[in-house]
Chain A
């Protein structure tokens, strides 16, 4: 039998590696269970035949006794359903939390990105250390030189987001596209499932009128009609030929897009200071991140010498994986896995406790078996089998719970997460769960098993039911301390993170996101050529939209808060003695009239923009508080300042606005400047509306209003401001809620643990308590006796836990918002909560002990 199994295992391992071997083991285990063959085999083995059916008698014997151990364990567990249920659920919580968390972490950290040989892919950025700038887009001309010169790179591709107005259908649509170099798909190791890839000569001005559609767009817009291949789309008024369609499995981390097109730029003629592309490079075989970085930095140094515009600029090289996964996901993975590890440990501790209690009760039975000649190893194995059966039960229930837990967690992840992560369970998760289960079984099973079988001759001589050994009792109380400490740690960390999340939500963003909706609109260049035409279009749209019932304010801007735009300009302040190159860098936002009202910006002093701030009126600007604080002296009147820029530009400051969080919810506000849209109009803008009541209700009317001006101009990225805020704090919120859930589980497990140990200890002392009561002990004394030790242990646990939580709080201080890592309220509340919960855990068994009827207690002896 063993031979047959080993032959199968060899075959599977040769074909499927470790995964094949694992499948073989699982199959064989299932086979053993399904056949229930143990009894039949034993009948055959013991049947007195000279040769058993089995080719190896010993293997069969082990199999046979193992089967009998399992049956024995199942019978023993079935006799005590409450114990079994408690232990199974406790383990299911521990194993389930781990499996669910690992499923998510596995998706982030261990599963490969959906690109061929992703380890060889690098993300390249431009950086300028002398200016303290990092993570900038690269200059395409420079990047193309890196590609040509670097021997460590096999290839390099450039991409950037773009958007087009698609017309010619029933309704115009703004579609998202990604501009790429023709080698884009081949660098990532993909190809179109229909049609062809881009050709190298399709790069450059006028040669870019080809597109490859994504599977999602093909489905959505064309219902998977193959005849779209070779047809022409009208994008921004230009004909573009569809040459290919991507497979559904192609996912790009830069977000979902509708189609890919080559760049319509000639890189060679592009100025070297235009940073406008993202770069992904594929390393040659044998190259490493370090060698590639060293070589690229040297090449960038050379380019800085060749082209003066490159002065100070260098290249930043990181792995694509690091670029996509980011530091937050990695750090959070470690923290959350640590938290679920604690939960599992607590669950194991609880089950070990329960087993200890049982082993105590069974010490006489075990002693008899030892006296009758059963080997210690045999009994330990028997007890361990019970643990394994329990762990398997817990593992199965936990895995089912894990599927739900992982699904809920993934559903809560922010929508802006790159779509390349695969959070489905796979063999790694299975392997992890199996090892966790096995580890748990050994962890909670071994100590009680060894303790129960340690040689104790007094057990039989004593002639009465005895409790566990002193060592086991001490182990039990140590567990209580440990559990209390872990519960404090998790509760404090969880509470601090949850409070940070709510802190972020209630943080003053400088604007009111409620009831605000935004949409991106870009009037096409073909119809609106001049700045005056663009301004007229926007005037008309804003006017029309303001007339929609339910809309209270409407304005436009080139970039609304939290959109992530990075427009900046250098200005000088008139009267401040400084040279040209000492200019102040400020964030720039172009704002129409009505924008400040729509977003409810708070004005500190001065006025907002009005209809009088037109192109030929005196130029004006509004600055924010950070600008005043950073760039003006304490006695300077902000409204008396004039800002100077390049080419003779100047503007007088007419207002000071409160700081607005422009890019992230928890960012430090930067000095900013607002200019009136009418004095420097842009084509693409965000339409920002404030509504009374739910913004969703007016969307159709708003869309109709926009199309009343021009039915060929689409609205894109229609979203509410609150959803944008949620998305920006989403990742952090998920971490906070998970930690909160884990804290709750730890509280539950901690309470069960304290109750279990105390109840067990009290139960063991029933006779003693009976005698005491018979001799007139008061109830309070009895309660004090029972509670005393447990309370001391729990108190010690609280102290240890608080110390640990202080350390953990310091480590977390970087991510906490609006709450101190040593927040006395949190610490106080957690301590009080645990004291109450432990109190209950202690009081219930103590109360029961104090109501013992002495006659019954003594009679039970």
Chain B
């Protein structure tokens, strides 16, 4: 029935879910002072810049994640914001992807954004492209779009693998303002070098809290920070306890 070896994990899951759910539903945080993240602040500027230049924007979620990956979900939440801005400014948005399911989700998000902005006629279904499920087929496809369309801004949000630097350098060569965000630690270093702004790891998940007025989303971010504080406290406490011969690593982590 229940494996006692999973008890520690169960406690962590209940704690994390409980704190996030509690703050999201019951005790909404009234006023939050958010740390400024330049990459998030630059999103609107990037869309505006592309609009002024009369160029489209490119948004892609990387080859490494499918629809159920939280990073992809966080990226699609950002797409909602970017598409909203692009629709209100009358800027064209191109969305190449490696996954047909992501393509369908993106199509709906972008179409909704154009409808809400009152420009349903500006939505072009073929701007959302399922390129190829193959990693470098996808990379070649996106590179081709970037090289031909010369976008004013490129958003690289999601899980990226070996294609990350190829996409970012191509964007850099073509002079686009690039904002990236990923949970792939190895690709972060490439993005930092090749992009104008980079959201590091968790910043991608919190980005939507910055861009929305929804208190529940912001409160859940507060909950995230609380859990992180608990983890940091444990990371500091456990080695000290270990020095005194009390080794609780396995029991707690």
A and B bound? no
Binding site for B on A (CB under 8 A): none
